[in-house]
């Protein structure tokens, strides 16, 4: 069954949409595409404890990013029955996040990436998809933009709860999740969106990019949290209870988690902004952009 890559590439606008060339819209789409296509790689780096400075210098990210892009291109080429060199960015876009997740998981495990084999497997799975499932549930259910933003926040809390349930640094699950992690995500996602679109960006665009940022930053925060939890557990393993209590009285691992998260947030946002300028070839104006489907 041949897949309709245009439909898979949703959310999108018709080619005859007069606002498709709007600079603000192109910038918004560009930052969202970068975050969704590269978020898994940054999450992997944070989980592995890679220094942010190493990512900023570009050496760490170069190979996995190139592999992910090549993988997405090969999947699209297989499904579209064309040469990889003829695949457009729009045709590869639906597979960028999947490709990045695949490469990131292999990178974390220290395994080589067989791009050709992975492309065949992913394309084979994609061919089994039923395009009748491809619909906008937000539109069908009449969910407003603000409601979808709330859904994103709830999903972020649920994701972070998985890590907190395993280990809460003796601070109490409710405190760690409700007082520290979720507020950190909300504040970081909102600030990141405004950094990308400007303080005067259209409210609908800011809400939309905030959702995209929240989903990706949530994964990065979870990685930072789990890495610190493993470090603390290993450090205190086998120690007497009195020594464990003394260590917690002298240290605040949650502060360390959030400090690392802030560094990764700045790094990820800076890369997204730089990439969006290249992709859209414009600077962010204050004109009205078009809105993507909620959460995209």
Q: Mind listing the pLDDT tens digit for each residue in 97-125?
A: 999 999 999 999 999 999 999 999 888 88
Confidence of residue 207 (pLDDT cuts 50, 70, 90): confident
Q: What is the mean pLDDT of the chain?
A: 81
Instruction: Round to whole Å and give the CA distance between 236 and 165.
Output: 18
Q: Provide the percentage of residues in the chain whose pLDDT is more than 70.
A: 78
Confidence of residue 27 (pLDDT cuts 50, 70, 90): confident
> Lowest-pLDDT range, 37-51, 141-155, 219-233?
141-155
Which long-range contacts (C-beta less than 8 Å, at least 24 apart) are formed by 290-293? 290/13, 290/17, 290/19, 290/20, 290/22, 290/25, 291/145, 291/202, 291/204, 291/205, 291/208, 292/11, 292/28, 292/29, 292/32, 292/208, 293/10, 293/11, 293/136, 293/138, 293/139
- For residue 141, what pLDDT is reported? 53
Question: Does residue 50 contact residue 228 with C-beta atoms inside 8 Å?
Answer: no
User: 3-state DSSP call for residue 183?
Assistant: helix
- For residue 4, what pLDDT is reported? 40
Q: Provide the percentage of residues in the chain whose pLDDT is more than 90.
A: 52
- For residue 132, what pLDDT is reported? 52
**What are the tens digits of pLDDT across the range 120-150?**
988 888 777 655 545 454 454 555 556 666 6
Distances (CA, A) of 92 to 57, 74, 89, 99, 132: 26, 8, 5, 10, 21
Instruction: Round to whole Å and give the CA distance between 48 and 230.
Output: 12
Tell me how far apart the 2 most distant CA atoms of the chain are, in Å.
70
Confidence of residue 275 (pLDDT cuts 50, 70, 90): confident
Q: Tell which wins on pLDDT, 59 or 71.
A: 71
Which long-range contacts (C-beta less than 8 Å, at least 24 apart) are formed by 157-164? 157/182, 159/218, 159/219, 159/222, 160/185, 160/218, 160/221, 160/222, 160/225, 162/222, 163/222, 163/225, 163/226, 163/229, 164/225
- For residue 18, what pLDDT is reported? 41
- For residue 58, what pLDDT is reported? 78
What tokens does 90 get? 């729009």
Confidence of residue 260 (pLDDT cuts 50, 70, 90): very high
- For residue 52, what pLDDT is reported? 93
Q: Tell which wins on pLDDT, 231 or 17.
A: 231
pTM of this prediction?
A: 0.79
Distances (CA, A) of 212 to 81, 159, 192, 235: 31, 15, 10, 35
């Amino acid at each position: 069954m041949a897949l309709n890559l245009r439909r898979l590439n949703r959310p999108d606008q018709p080619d005859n949409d007069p606002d498709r060339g709007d600079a603000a819209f192109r910038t918004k789409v560009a930052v969202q595409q970068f975050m969704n296509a590269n978020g898994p790689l940054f999450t992997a780096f944070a989980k592995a404890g890679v220094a942010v400075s190493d990512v900023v210098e570009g050496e760490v990210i170069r190979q996995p990013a190139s592999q992910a892009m090549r993988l997405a291109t090969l999947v699209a080429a297989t499904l579209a029955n064309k040469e990889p060199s003829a695949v457009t960015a729009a045709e590869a876009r639906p597979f960028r996040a999947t490709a990045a997740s695949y490469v990131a998981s292999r990178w974390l495990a220290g395994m080589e990436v067989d791009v050709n084999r992975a492309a065949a497997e992913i394309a084979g799975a994609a061919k089994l998809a039923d395009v009748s499932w491809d619909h906008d549930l937000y539109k069908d259910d009449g969910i407003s933009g603000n409601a979808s933003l709330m859904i994103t926040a709830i999903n972020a809390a649920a994701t972070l709860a998985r890590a907190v349930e395993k280990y809460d640094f003796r601070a109490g699950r409710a405190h760690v999740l409700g007082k520290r992690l979720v507020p950190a995500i909300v504040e970081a996602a909102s600030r990141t969106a405004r950094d990308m679109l400007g303080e005067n960006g259209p409210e609908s665009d800011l809400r939309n990019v905030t959702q995209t940022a929240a989903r990706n930053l949530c994964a990065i925060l979870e990685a930072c949290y789990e890495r610190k939890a493993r470090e603390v557990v290993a450090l205190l393993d086998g120690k007497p209870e009195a020594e464990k209590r003394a260590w917690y009285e002298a240290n605040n691992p949650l502060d360390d988690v959030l400090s690392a998260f802030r560094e990764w947030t700045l790094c990820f946002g800076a890369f997204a902004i730089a990439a969006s300028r290249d992709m859209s070839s414009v600077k962010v104006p204050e004109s009205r952009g078009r809105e993507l489907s909620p959460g995209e």
